[in-house]
Amino acid sequence: MVKSIRELYRCRALIQILVSRDLKARYRGSVLGFMWSMLNPFLMMLVYWLVFSIYLRNGMENYHVYLFCGLLPWLWFSASLLEGCNSIIAGANLVKKVMFPAEVLPIVVILSNLIHFFLGLPILAAFLIIYRVPPGNNLLAFPIIVLIQFVFTFGLMLLLSALSVHLRDIQQILNNIVTLWFFMTPIVYSVTDLNLESKPPAIRWVMNLNPMKHIIEGYHRVFLQHMTDRGIAMFNESIPWTGLFVVLGCSVILLAVAWSVFNHFKTGFSEEI
Amino acid sequence: MERYVIEMDSVSKAFKKHRRRNQFLTLKSTLIRDLWRLGQPTTENDNLFWALKQFDLRIASGETVGLIGSNGSGKSTALKLIAGILTPTNGTVRVIGRLSALIELGAGFHPEISGRENIFINGIMLGLTKQQIRSKFDEIVDFADLRAFIDNPVRTYSSGMFMRLGFAVAVHVDPDILLIDEVLAVGDQSFVHKCLERIFDFKRRGKTIVVVSHDLGSVEKLCSRAVWLSNGERRCEGPSREVIGSYLMSVARQEEARYASEHEQIQEALEEQARRTVGQTGESKDGDGGVPEAVLPDNALDTGKRWGNRKIEIMQFRIVDSVGRERYVFQTGEDVTFDVRFEAKEPVGKAVFGIGIYLQDGTWCYGSNTQIDRMEIDEFTGSGWFRLTFPAMPLIENSYLIDIAVHAEDQTPFDFHSRMYRIAFRSLHRDSGIVRLHHSWSFSDTIHVRRLNADGPVQVDRAAEGAAADGCGT
C-alpha cells in the first residue's frame, strides 16, 4: 500500500489536471457553472426539509441547518461511491491506451467530489451566520473528520471499482444500497429523535456499526456545537473521538485490503473493459 | 556491445476467448473463488487465445523496427506489451528509457473542454510537465494547424482535427522510444506527410522507433529491420526490404490459391459445357448447332458472361508468368502471359482473337485484338492455341477482370467470354489511376529533395520484387 501511495504521489500532476478537467467539464455549457456545486446540495436540502419539516412535522428548530450540515458530507460520500465504482469502466479509453496507475481514476473522483463538498461549505457558513449559530472550538476537528471520511470512502471505492470491472452487477445494486444507507444514517433525523431508550439495545448496537453515523455525527458536533433546539444545546459535547478512531482504524484496514484486491485485479483491467 | 533498450524474452500473451459471466452466480463460494481467479494470469488452456507465443524481440538503441503481419497476427499485442498497457502472461518485457506510444491518439481528451486545456491534460498523461507543455504549446498548436480553434471545445472538432491534435501532442513528448500503431492513416495527405517527416526526424536524431503497420511501403522506408509475425509467432526477421518481400510473396501465394481455385471452377464448367455441346452436335450433325447456351443448363457459368455460336470454341484459358507457372496474382511490373486453347469444329473463314482488361466497376483499362494489331488468321480446323505476352505489365495494385473472345471478321461472335476471369496485381507503391507510367523526377538546384527511403534513393523499378530474398523459409 505504501508503494502504491508513493506511485500515486508521483502522478500528482496527472491527478491534479484530471480533477480540474472533471470540474471544468461538469458544468461546462451551463449558465450558472460552478454555482451548481453550491445550489445542488441547497436544493436537495430544500426537498428533505419540505418532506420532513412541513409534511412529517419534525419539530427541530433550525432543522434545515441541521439537514444541510449532514447532507453536504453525505453527498461527497455517495457521489464518490457511485461515480468511483464506475470510474475504471468509464475511463476505459485511458486504461487501455495509456500506461498509468489505475488508482488515479477513483482518486480523481473522490478529489473532485471533495472540491464540490468544499464549495458547498460557504452556504453552510451563511446558514450558520443567518441563524446565529456561533462557531465553537470543535471546528478545529474538521480536517481530521474529513480525513477519516476520505480514508473510509477511498477504501470502499477501490474495492468496488476493481470488483465492478468483472462483476458489473455491483453498480446496479449500489444505487439501492446507497439510498438505504442514507436513511440508516442520522442525516434527516437525529439519533435523539429515535427514542432509543424505548427500543431493544440491539438496535443501538447495529446503528453504531455504521461508520457514516460516526462521521456525520462528527460533522454535527463540528459545525453545530452551539446550535440550540428550544433552548437546549443539542451538540454541545466534545467530538465522539472513540467512535471516530475505531472508524479510522477499520478504514485503514479496509483501505489496505481494498488496495491489495485492486492490485490483484489491476493487470486484467485493460483486457476486461 | 550493443545496448538493448527493448527486450522481450519468450513473451506469451493469452486472452480469454469469451467472458465468463454465465459461470458466475451459481453459489456464493464459486462466485468468490472465480472472481479472485479472474485477476490472476490465467494458465488453464481451455478458452484461451494465445495472441503471442514465446516471442523474443531485442531492439538496440536507435534502431527502427517494423512489425508486420496479417490481422490477428499479434503485432499490436506485442506493441501494447512493450508500452506496458498489457502485461505478459509468461515471459518478461524490459524497456529502458522514456517511451511514448502513438497507439490511440488523443487518449484522455475530454469533449467538453477546449483544445488548449486538452493539450495540457494529454501532455501530462504522456509524461510531460506543465512547464514543458507551456514551452512547447505554440509548436504543438502550429503543428496541428488548429490555432483558430484552439479555444473551442474538442467536441466541436472534426475527427481529422481531433487526430491532428492528438498526434501533435504525442510527437512533441520527445521520447527515447516511439511506438507507432497504424496511426499514419489519419488526416489528409499533407498532414500525413508532416507526421512522416516528424517521425523521420526522430529517426535521424537516433531515437528508437517500433512501428506496426499494414502500410508496407512506409514500413520499408522507415525501418531498417522488420519482424514478420504470423499467428502470434515470429515467422521471419531481418532487413525490412527482404522481410517485406517474403511477406508479400506469402500473401500473394494465399491470394494465388484463392484465385486459382476460382479459375479452376470456371475451367471445369467450361469443360463440362464443351462435353455437352459435343453430345448435342453429334445427334444433329447437320443442324445449325447455334444457340447452345439456350439448351444448356449452366450452373457455374453465368450465361450472361458467355455468348457466340461456338463454331470456334475457347477450351481453356490460363495466365502464366515469365517462367511458365500458372498464376493469377502478380507484382506490378512482372511479365504476364495469357494462354488460350481453342478448337474449330468446322472451317468458318477468317477468325479474330481479342482480349480486354477491365476494372471491377467496368472501367475498360485495355483492349486489343489480332485485327487491330494488323494480323490476318487464315481459316483452320482442329485445335490450336495463342499466347499474348505483356512484358513488364504496368497495371497498378488492384483486381481486374478479363475478356477473351474469338469472332469472325464481320464481328459475328464464335465464342465470347466476358469478364469471366480475374487477375490481381500487388505493389509496394501507392500510386493511383490504372497504370504505373514510367516516370522520373528532376529539380532545379534551388530545390532540396530528400528521398524518404531507408537505404538509398527511391527505387522506381520493382522488377526485382518477385525475386526478393526468400530466405524466410516460407
pLDDT band at A77 (very low <50, low <70, confident <90, very high): very high
The C-alpha R_g of chain B, in whole angstroms, comes to 30
Instruction: Establish, for the pair of chains A and B, how many residue pairs have beta carbons separated by less than 8 Å.
Output: 74
Q: Chain A, 67-106: which have a CB under 8 Å from a chain B CB?
A: 93-94, 96-100
Whether residue A257 is predicted with pLDDT greater than 90 in this model: the reply is yes
Write out the three cell numbers for B44.
488453464
Q: Please give the backbone phi and psi of residue B99, each rounded to the nearest 5 degrees, phi first.
A: -125, 135
By the 8 A CB rule, do A34 and A103 touch?
no
- Cβ-based burial of A240 (10 A; exposed 0-12, middle 13-18, buried ≥19): middle
In angstroms, what is the C-alpha Rg of chain A?
20
Q: Which of A188, A210, A193, A219 is nearest to A69 (CA)?
A: A219
pLDDT of A137-189, one tens digit each?
A: 888 999 999 999 999 999 999 999 998 888 888 888 999 999 999 999 999 88
Residue of A nearest to B118 (CA): A21
Q: What is the ipTM of this complex?
A: 0.75
For an interface test with B, the pick among A19, A20, A21 (most B C-beta atoms closer than 10 Å) comes out as A21
User: CA nearest B366: which of B330, B401, B392, B341?
Assistant: B401
Nearest-Cα distance to chain B for A91, in Å, is 8
How far is the C-alpha of A80 from the C-alpha of A94, rounded, in Å?
A: 19
Q: How far apart are CA A28 and CA A65, in angstroms?
A: 30
CB B471 within 8 A of CB B235: no
SS3 B468: coil
Higher pLDDT among residues B465 and A218, named by residue: A218
A195-211: average pLDDT: 82
Domain count, chain A: 1
Chain B residues close to A14, C-beta within 8 Å: 124-125
Of B35, B41, B125, Cβ closest to residue A166: B35
* Subunit contact A98:B101, Cβ cutoff 8 A: yes
Chain B touched by A27 (CB under 8 Å): no
State the nearest Cα–Cα gap between A252 and chain B, in angstroms: 22
Bridging pattern class, strands B364-369 and B4-16: unpaired
Residue type, B215: D
DSSP E strands, B265-308 = 306-307
Min distance A249 CA to chain B CA atoms (Å): 25
Task: Report the pLDDT value the prediction gives residue B279, as an integer from 0 to 100.
Answer: 57
Is A123 a residue whose pLDDT tops 70? yes
In degrees, rounded to 5, the angle at the alpha carbon of residue A124 between the alpha carbons of residues A122 and A130 is: 100
**C-beta atoms of B113 and A94 within 8 A:** no
Cell of B63: 534502431
Helices then strands (H, E): number in chain B? 9, 18
Partners of residue B30 in chain A, C-beta under 8 Å: none
Instruction: Answer yes or no: do A267 and B87 touch at CB < 8 A.
Output: yes
Residue B333 near residue B394, CB atoms below 8 Å: yes
pLDDT value, residue B293 = 40
Chain A's closest residue to B76, CA to CA, is A97
CB contacts of A100 in chain B (<8 Å) are 125
CA pair distance B322, B467, nearest whole angstrom: 12
Question: Given CB atoms, is A176 within the 8 Å cutoff of chain B?
Answer: no
Yes or no, beta carbons of B101 and A99 under 8 Å apart: yes
Half-sphere exposure (Cβ direction) of A213: Cα atoms closer than 13 Å: 18
Which of A25, A166, A268 lies closest to B112 in CB terms? A25
Please give the pLDDT value at position B472: 58
Q: Do A94 and B108 touch (CB under 8 A)?
A: yes
Would you call B110 and A97 a contact, using CB atoms and an 8 Å cutoff? no
- pLDDT score for B469: 41
Q: Which domain holds residue A59?
A: 2-272
**Subunit contact B39:A267, Cβ cutoff 8 A:** yes
What domains can you pick out in chain B, each with its CATH number?
4-37+45-249 (3.40.50.300), 250-426 (2.70.50.60)
The per-residue pLDDT string of chain B (474 residues; one tens digit each, 9 = 90 and over) reads 467 899 999 999 888 765 554 444 444 545 555 556 655 555 555 677 888 899 999 999 989 999 998 888 888 889 989 988 888 888 999 998 888 877 767 667 888 888 888 888 888 887 788 898 999 999 999 988 888 888 888 888 888 888 888 888 888 888 888 888 876 666 677 788 888 888 888 888 888 999 998 888 888 888 889 999 998 888 889 998 889 888 888 887 888 888 888 888 888 887 787 777 665 544 444 444 444 443 344 444 555 678 888 889 898 899 999 998 888 888 889 999 999 999 998 888 889 999 999 998 888 999 999 999 999 998 889 999 999 999 999 999 888 999 999 999 888 899 999 888 889 888 878 788 889 998 888 899 898 887 765 433 333 333 334 434 444 544
Residue B36: the pLDDT is: 60
* pLDDT at position A204 over 90: no
pLDDT of residue B301: 54
